[in-house]
Structure 1
Amino acid sequence: MDTIRVLFSVAANKEWSLHQFDVTNAFLHGDLTEEVYMDAPPGFSGGFKEGEVCRLKKSLYGLKQSPRAWFGKFTLAMKEYGYHQSNADHTLFLKRRNGLVTCLIIYVDDMIITGDDTEEIARLKRNLFSKFEMKDLGNLKYFLGIEVLRSKQGIFICQKKYVLDLLAETGLIDCKPADTPMVVNHNLHMELNGELADKGRYQRLVGKLIYLSHTRPDIAYAVGVVSQFMHQPQVAHMEAAQRILRYLKGTAGHGVLFKTNGHLKVELYTDADWAGDKGNRRSTSGYFSLVGGNLVTWRSKKQNVVALSSAEAEFRGIARGLSEVLWIRKLLEDIGFSQKGPSKVMCDNTAAIQISENPVQHDRTKHVEVDRHFIKEKLEGGIIELPYVASKDQLADILTKAVNGNAFSSCLSKLSIGDPTTQLEGECQK
C-alpha cells in the first residue's frame, strides 16, 4: 500500500488518470516449471490404477506454487512489452518513452495503470487483453477494499464500507462513538493473573484493524499497541480494541486526501516516546512521510532495545525514518522524478541532531554507532537535512500525539484527512 499511496500523490500532483483492470482466474494462467502431482479429481478416477496420479502442467487455485507461477508469467509478459520492474517495489512495472512514463502496479489479479503516456497506456491495454482474460473496470474507484474518490481537490481514499461492515460484524453498529481511538497514558501491559479474553476473536479483530490502518493514520498508534498482545490477550486489551471500534463509529468516512501541490519533495517527521512501555520500558518511535505535500507513509513501532536516554530513543527513530526516506527517493527515481536536493528529516531533539552532525567520535554513542554512521553518511552525501523543529510545530505536534496516543483525530485536518461524502465534488469536509 505504501507504493500505491506514493503513486496517488504523484498522480494528484501531475494530474495523471488512474485506470483499473482485473484478471479473470489469474492463477489458471500460470505455467508450472517444477514437477507437481495430485490425486485424480472426482469423476475422473475411474480409469486410474491404484497408485496412479496426475502431473500438473498448469497451476490451479489452492496450489502453493500458483501465486509465484502467475506472477512469473505476468512479469515475462510485461518485459516483452518493454517494461522493467522497479528496484524499490517488484510489483511496480515502469516504461519511459519520449520523456513520458507509464506505471502499472499489480496485487494478485488487481492492477492499476497510471502515467502521462496515453498512447502507451492504450497499447498496454491491448497487449494485456490479447495475452490474458481481463476486465476493464474503468477509472479507479474501488481497490482492495479501499474506496477512491476523485474531484477537483485531488484524490481521496477511505474504507468507509469496510468500517461499517466491521462494526456490523462486531455488533457495535449502534454503539456510542468515542472521541479518541485510545485513552491518554493508557499504560496497557500484561497484567499478572489478568482475566483472559477470547484469543481467536481478538486476533481476528486486530487483524482487520491493521488492514484498516492503511488509510487511517489516526488509529495507527492505537492498533500498534493492541497488536502487541495477540499471543495472550486480556480483557483490558479487548476493551482497548473495542474503543478503537467506537472511535471508528464516529469517523467512518475519514481517510487520506492527496492534493495537487505542484511539487514532489520528500519530507519526513520523526519523534519518540522514551521508555513509554510500562512492561519493559522500551521506547516507541514513529514517523510520517510526505511526498508532494501529501501524507504517504506512517509508522509507530516499539523499539527492539531499551534506550538509555531520550536522545538515544530519538536517534534510533531518526535512523528508521531515514531508511523510509531513502526508499521513497529510490521509488520516485525509478518513476522518473529524482530529488534535486536533500530531503528534510524533521526532529525535535537537539541532542540527537548534534550527535548526527558531529564528526567527532563519542564514547557515549558506541551503542548506537551503526545508526550514527548511517545517518552521518547520508548527511555528508547531501541526501538529507536534519533541521530542528519545535514540538509545538503543528506537524511535529501531530506525530507527538500519535506516538503518545493522544487525541490524534483532532489534528486530522492538518494532514488533509476528512470525510468528503457530503461534498464529493467540492472540498473534502475536514
Structure 2
Amino acid sequence: MAYVDDIIITRNSSKEIDKIVHQLHSRFSLKDMGDLHFFLDIEVHHMSHGLYLSQKKYILELLHKYTCITQPDIAFCVNKLSQYMNAPKDTHWQAVKRVLRYLNGTLDHGLYFTKGCFELVYYSNADWVSTIEDKRSTTGYCIYLGSNPIAWCSKKQVVVSISSSEVEYRSLSNCVAELLWVKQLLTKVGVYLQHTLVVWCDNTSTMSIAANPTHHAKVKHVEIDHHFVQEKVHDGILHVNFVPSTSQIADVLTKLITPKQFSSC
C-alpha cells in the first residue's frame, strides 16, 4: 500500500519483501523503516492470526489538543452533529462532549483484520425522515471483505422521500455503486471475485423493487440512475437478501439504538 511517499509492503515471505525493497531501492532513494508498527497515525500490532489496527495514540493526542476524532462506531453521531456546524447550540456542544467521553472510554477499541475468504458482503439500511427540520432521511451501509469491515457510511439523503421503500431503495442504489467500485478496485490489485455480490437488506418492499421492474408504483418518480440496481440483479451480478432488523449491522449507522444493540454491532 502506498500513500504519497509512504509505502507498506506485506508478503508471506521475508525474502520476497527484501527482494521488493531491493528493486525499489535500485530505482529510488528510500529508507527502510523495518517492521510495521505505526503508519499514518494508525498503530499496528502483529497478532498470531492477523494485524490489529487502532488509533489509541492519535485519539489521545486529539483529545488533548483538539478533542475531536471519528471512527466507525460514532459515524452516525458525527453525521448528525455535522449538520449543525453553521449554527450550533448548547445542546449540540453537550452532545459533542458526550461523544468525546465515549472515545476517552474506548481508547483500546479498533479494527481487527484477519485472514479469510475474499468475499464482499454488504449491509444496507436507511431511516425514514430521521431529520425533523427538513424531513430528509439517513443512508447507512457497511461493506465487509470476508469478516473484515473495509468501508462504511452514514449520511443524510439529498432529497425528501415519500415512503420507507423509496428511502431504502435510494440507500441501496447509492451503496451498490460503492460496492461495485470496491470490486473494481480489488480487480485492479489482482483480486478477482467470481461470486455474486450479496447485499443484506431488512426491507422486503425494497427487495421486491430491486428484483422486479414492474413493481414500481412507489418509486416511479425516482431518478432513473437509481434503477441500475435492477439491471445488476437481472444480470446476476447482485443478489439482495433479507436480514431481520435485529441482525442488521447497518442499523448503528442510521439511527439511535439501545446500548445492548450497540454493543453487539
Aligned amino acid, residue 142 of structure 1: F
The equivalent residue for 1:331 is 185
- Aligned counterpart, 1:108: 4
Q: Residues 276, 410 of structure 1: CA spacing in aligned structure 2 closer, same or farther, 3 A cutoff? A: closer
For residue 230 of structure 1, report the CA deviation from its aligned partner.
Answer: 2.4
After TM superposition, list the pairs within 5 Å mapping 1:158-307 onto structure 2: 158-169=54-65, 208-209=68-69, 213=70, 216-261=71-116, 263-307=117-161
Does the CA contact (< 8 Å) of 1:347 and 1:387 recur in 2? yes
- For the aligned residue pairs, the C-alpha RMSD in angstroms reads 2.2
**Cα offset, 1:340, TM superposition:** 1.6
Corresponding residue for residue 382 of structure 1: 236
Q: Indicate conservation of the 8 Å contact 1:274/1:309, yes or no.
A: yes
With over 3 angstroms needed to count, the CA separation of the structure-2 counterparts of 1:408 and 1:157, relative to structure 1, is farther
Q: 2:166 aligns with which of 308, 312, 315?
A: 312
8 Å contact kept, 1:273–1:403: yes
8 Å CA contact 1:355, 1:372 repeated in 2: no
Q: Which amino acid in structure 2 is aligned with residue 282 of structure 1?
A: R
Aligned residue identity for 2:254: V
* Distance of 2:259 and 2:12 partners within structure 1: 36
Shift of residue 360, structure 1, vs aligned partner: 1.8
Q: CA deviation at 1:310?
A: 0.5
1:128 positional shift:
2.6
Per the alignment, in what secondary structure is the counterpart of residue 9 of structure 2?
A: strand
Task: String of CA shifts for 1:191-210, please: whole Å, max 9, x gaps.
Answer: xxxxxxxxxxxxxx5xx42x
| Aligned residue number for residue 253 of structure 2 | 402
1:98-154 alpha-carbon deviations (Å, 9 max, x no partner): xxxxxxx22222111224576664333123323333221122211110111121132
Q: CA deviation at 1:335?
A: 2.4
Give 1:333 deviation, angstroms.
1.7
Counterpart in the other structure of 2:18: 122
TM-score by length of 2: 0.91
The percent of aligned pairs where both chains have the same amino acid is 39
Deviation at 1:361, TM superposition (A): 6.4
SS at match of 1:312: helix
Please report the TM-score for the alignment, with normalisation by the length of structure 1.
Answer: 0.58
Asked if 1 retains the 8 angstrom alpha-carbon contact of 2:204 and 2:242, the reply is yes
Q: What secondary structure does 2:252 align onto? A: helix
Q: Which amino acid aligns with 1:275?
A: V
Residues 412, 233 of structure 1: alpha-carbon distance in 2 compared, 3 angstrom cutoff: same
Aligned residue pairs: how many? 265
Structure 2: distance between partners of 1:409 and 1:137: 43
1:410–1:309 distance in 2 versus 1, CA, 3 Å:
closer
* 1:283-302 CA-partner distances (Å, limit 9, x unpaired): 00100011012111110000
Three-state SS of the structure 1 residue aligned to 2:198 is strand
Aligned to 1:344: 198
Which amino acid in structure 2 is aligned with residue 217 of structure 1? P
| Partner AA of 1:403 in structure 2 | T
Q: Give the secondary-structure state (helix, strand or coil) at the position aligned to 2:220.
A: helix
The one-letter amino acid of 1:251's match is T
Deviations 1:234-269 (A, max 9, x none): 2222221111110011101101111223x1110100
Rounded to whole Å, the distance in 2 between the matches of 1:117 and 1:155 is: 16
Larger Rg: 1
Query: What one-letter code is carried by the residue in structure 1 that aligns with 2:41?
Result: G
Kindly provide the amino acid, as one letter, of the partner of residue 299 in structure 1: C
What letter corresponds to residue 323 of structure 1 in structure 2? A
- Matched position secondary structure for 1:387: strand
The answer to whether the 8 Å contact 2:44/2:53 transfers is: yes
SS at match of 2:34: strand
Any stretches of 5+ residues in structure 2 without a counterpart? Answer: none
Residue segments in structure 1 that go unaligned for 5+ positions in a row: 1-104, 171-204, 415-430
Question: SS of the residue aligned with 1:345?
Answer: strand
2:32 equivalent to 1:131: no
Match 1:321 to one of 171, 175, 179: 175
Q: What is the one-letter code of the residue matched to 1:136?
A: D
Give the C-alpha shift of residue 409 in structure 1.
8.3
User: Given the alignment of the two structures, is residue 146 of structure 1 paired with residue 1 of structure 2, yes or no?
Assistant: no
Partner deviation per Cα, 1:329-352 (whole Å, 9 max, x = no partner): 112222222112111111000111
